[in-house]
Amino acid sequence: MTPFGLRVRALRKGRHISLKQMAADLDISAAYLSALEHGHRGRPSWSLVEQICVYFNIIWDDAEELQRLASLSHPKVTLDTSGLSPTATEYANLLAREVRNLPKARLEEMLNYLKEIAPPRR
């Protein structure tokens, strides 16, 4: 599941809306919505994120947060380390290979560290 999929599912379930009903209301297939929620599809388009914001009446900071989550929710990431140090390349390759084996606590620790040092994106 992706951060975006987790958030959309929480919004949907919090309002007691079935996946099938939401998909019909957004004029998309239930299979596509399910795939988005489970992280089996790439990041959603801006227009779909906008539709979802309107659907749940999400505005301002919450809408920006949903867009941010969508931009970070591509389940198949490509990382270009050309021009970076050998250490960066080794790190990226080891992370790609071992991310499935990392304990949740360690992943959260690493994610929090990256969030601390990453400049805010707008």
Domain ranges of the chain: 3-71, 77-122
Question: Taking a C-beta distance cutoff of 8 angstroms, is the pair 66, 53 a contact?
Answer: yes
CATH H-level, domain 3-71: superfamily = lambda repressor-like DNA-binding domains (1.10.260.40)
Q: What are phi and psi of 28, to 5 degrees?
A: -130, 165
What confidence tens digit (pLDDT) does each residue in 34-87 have? 999 998 998 899 999 999 999 999 999 999 999 999 998 988 888 999 999 999
Can you tell me whether residue 27 is helix, strand or coil? coil
Mean pLDDT of 83-106: 95
Neighbours of 91 (CB within 10 A): 14
